[in-house]
């Protein structure tokens, strides 16, 4: 039984979908005005793992992730660079797509963008006005009337009165209540603008997600995800808009990932303490970032450091150690040992599922995989052949695949080179027979410089890139 922690109730709840075996899932994407950093990557990876695991458990997942392609920051940035805001946004959308692909994040079912949803957004605003949940102001803005929504604050656990007290928000005269938020913003000169019943303008940030959910997934969805910095005000406002508009519960489960921190602070564009995904990938493989995320729990903050990355990379090496082939001369393992391996494989798979079923406990899932790694390596040491190792290794590959790890399956690593390396290994073994250690060590050392590792086992020599 899958259990999911729901921000709305602050509890783990049994996961039940609106429709059997179908999951409608919406994750807030990024505002595209600069290069994405590894905090964004963490969020993308977290929800990619959720999606992959749900699919592994037999669900068909409709996964929607949006791009916010019109907002103040994009406009400012574009003006600085003397570019058209839409061109700027498009550039970063393509860059982010590439980042996600490099990170082995599965493509979403749909990637809607605010600028392509104007009719739906405007229709929704009209509906909210009709129902009295929103009002147009004299300045051309349209605001959501939070006092009309008795449940406002239920996601973030805030009360309107509390917020008023400590609020640092500038009180705009056009607003009925200081906490009312804009769902349509009147255009200032030179800004991108769309026609609307309230004059030229553009949508507020929150309304686009509500509208895109409605048009791409329907009135109700199963999972809504994003970083926990979005809980307030973004997701709170989304709930207010969507539920006021439809009169129905919007998302059943709200999932939020913790923030990636650098030197004790949240990594963010505004603070400037960030590592871009491109920077990261120039120094590490994509799996390493994923491994780092998987080792923790998605809801907790995660500190990024070289030490953590080092541990993650070594952990990956360990997972890969089980996928190495048996030595050429392997004689085969006894029946009893093969049974043990089968049993351990079964147990690992079961433990993996139990852990992941508990709110996607990936570090628990990894622990099960490491147990399997030990089992495989022990069997290989005991003489198991490739054929005997295969079922366990296949299981390991399947389960690491559920986590989205590739484990460096470098395609056609050497191509033709493999044959020549095999030949060198053969020659080296001849030298070893003749106790020509100088020559055999030379071959080993030189191959190592070329990135080929040689391991002499009892039953023969293994080499790998």
Q: Which residues within the stretch 249-278 sit at the binding site for RNA (CB under 7 A)?
A: 257-261, 264-270
- Answer for which of 90, 102, 371, 418 binds RNA (CB under 7 A) is 371
Q: Is 373 in the site for RNA (CB under 7 A)?
A: yes
Output the smallest distance, CB 28 to RNA, in A.
4
118 binds RNA (CB under 7 A): no
Binding mask 203-242 for RNA (x = CB under 7 A): --x--------------------xxxxxxxxx--------
Q: What's the Cα-to-Cα distance from 458 to each of 326, 328, 338, 383, rounded to whole Å?
A: 11, 10, 19, 9
Q: Which stretch binds RNA (CB under 7 A): 120-128, 215-223, 357-365, 390-398?
A: 357-365
- Asked if residue 86 binds RNA (CB under 7 A), the reply is no
Beta strands 201-203 and 251-257, pairing class: unpaired
Shortest distance in whole angstroms from residue 58 CB to RNA: 23
Using N-to-C axis directions, what is the helix angle for 205-216 and 236-246, rounded to 10°? 50
> Which range in 105-113, 142-150, 281-289, 292-300 contacts RNA by CB under 7 A?
292-300
Site string for RNA, 376-405 (x = CB under 7 A): -xx-xx------------------------
Q: How wide is the angle at C-alpha 191 spanned by C-alphas 188 and 192, nearest 5°?
A: 130
CB of 316 to RNA, least distance (A): 9
* Residue 160 binds to RNA (criterion: CB under 7 A): no
- Cα–Cα distance measured from residue 157 to residue 160, given in angstroms and rounded to the nearest whole number: 10
Smallest gap from Cβ 243 to RNA, in A, equals: 19
Tell me: does residue 163 bind RNA (CB under 7 A): yes
Which residue from 158, 284, 397, 406 is in contact with RNA, where contact means CB under 7 A? 158
Contact track, RNA, 170-189, x by CB under 7 A:
-----------x--------
For RNA, the closer CB: 240 or 454: 454
Sign of CA dihedral 88, 90, 94, 96: positive
What is the rounded CA–CA span in Å between residue 285 and residue 465?
A: 15
**Contact window for RNA (CB under 7 A) among 88-96, 158-166, 340-348, 402-410:** 158-166
d(Cα 177, Cα 346) in Å, to the nearest integer? 60
CB neighbours (10 Å) of residue 359?
A: 21
Q: Which residues pair with 13 in a beta bridge?
A: 4
What count of Cα atoms within 13 Å lies in the side-chain half-sphere of residue 24? 18
Residue 156 touches RNA, criterion: CB under 7 A: yes
Per CB under 7 A, which region of 82-90, 211-219, 361-369, 410-418 contacts RNA? Answer: 361-369
- Determine if 329 is a binding residue for RNA (CB under 7 A): no
Stretch that binds RNA, among 86-94, 97-105, 373-381, 406-414 (CB under 7 A): 373-381
Please list every residue from 29 through 58 that binds RNA, using CB under 7 A.
Answer: 29-31, 39-40, 42-43
For residues 322 and 374, give the distance between their C-alpha atoms in angstroms, rounded to a whole number.
7
**Rounded to whole angstroms, how far apart are CA atoms 150 and 146?**
8
Give the residue among 111, 112, 17, 26 at the shortest CA–CA distance from 62: 26
363 in contact with RNA (CB under 7 A): yes
When the beta carbons of 9 and 116 are compared against RNA, the nearer one is: 9
The 10 Å CB-count burial string (b at 16+, else e) for 145-173 is bbebbeebbebbebeeeebeeeeeeeeee
Binding footprint of RNA, residue count (CB under 7 A): 91
Assigned token pair, 60: 């068909």
Structure tokens at 356: 């992941």
CB nearer to RNA: pick between 263 and 416 = 263
CA 272 to chain centre: 22
């Amino acid at each position: 039984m899958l259990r999911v922690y729901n921000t709305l109730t602050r509890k783990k709840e049994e996961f039940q979908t609106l429709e059997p075996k179908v999951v409608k899932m919406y994750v807030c994407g990024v505002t595209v005005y600069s290069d994405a950093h590894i905090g964004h990557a963490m969020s993308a990876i977290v929800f990619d793992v959720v999606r992959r695991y749900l699919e592994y458990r037999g669900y068909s997942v409709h996964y929607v992730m949006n791009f916010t392609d019109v907002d103040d920051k994009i406009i400012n940035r574009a003006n600085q660079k003397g570019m058209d805001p839409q061109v700027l946004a498009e550039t970063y959308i393509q860059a982010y797509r590439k980042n996600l692909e490099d990170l082995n994040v599965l493509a979403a079912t749909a990637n809607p963008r605010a600028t392509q949803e104007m009719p739906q957004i405007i229709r929704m605003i009209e509906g909210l006005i009709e129902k009295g949940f929103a009002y147009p102001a004299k300045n051309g803005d349209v605001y959501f009337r939070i006092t009309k929504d008795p449940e406002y604050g239920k996601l973030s656990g805030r009360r309107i009165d509390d917020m008023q007290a400590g609020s640092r928000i500038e009180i705009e005269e056009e607003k009925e209540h200081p906490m009312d938020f804009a769902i349509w913003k009147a255009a200032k000169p030179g800004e991108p603008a769309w026609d609307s019943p309230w004059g030229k303008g553009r949508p507020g940030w929150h309304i686009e997600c509500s509208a895109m959910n409605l048009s791409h997934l329907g009135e109700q969805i199963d999972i809504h995800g994003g970083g926990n910095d979005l809980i307030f005000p973004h997701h709170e406002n989304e709930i207010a808009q969507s539920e006021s508009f439809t009169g129905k519960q919007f998302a059943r489960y709200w999932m939020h990932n913790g923030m990636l921190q650098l030197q004790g602070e949240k990594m963010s564009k505004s603070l400037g303490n960030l590592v871009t995904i491109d920077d990261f990938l120039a120094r590490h493989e994509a799996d390493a970032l994923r491994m780092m995320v998987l080792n923790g729990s998605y809801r907790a903050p995660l500190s990024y450091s070289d030490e953590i990355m080092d541990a993650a990379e070594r952990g990956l090496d360990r997972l890969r150690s089980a996928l190495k082939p048996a030595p050429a001369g392997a004689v085969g393992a006894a029946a009893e040992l093969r049974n043990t391996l089968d049993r351990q494989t079964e147990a690992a798979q079961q433990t993996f599922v139990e852990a992941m079923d508990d709110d996607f406990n990936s570090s628990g899932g990894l622990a099960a995989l490491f147990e399997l790694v030990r089992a495989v390596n022990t069997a290989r040491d005991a003489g198991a052949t490739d054929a005997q190792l295969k079922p366990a290794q296949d299981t390991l590959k399947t389960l690491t695949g559920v986590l989205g790890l590739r484990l460096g399956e470098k395609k056609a690593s050497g191509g033709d080179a493999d044959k020549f390396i095999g030949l060198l290994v053969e020659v080296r073994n001849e030298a070893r027979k003749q106790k020509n250690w100088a020559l055999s060590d030379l071959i080993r050392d030189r191959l190592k410089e070329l990135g080929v590792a040689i391991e002499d086992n009892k039953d023969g020599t293994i080499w790998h890139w």
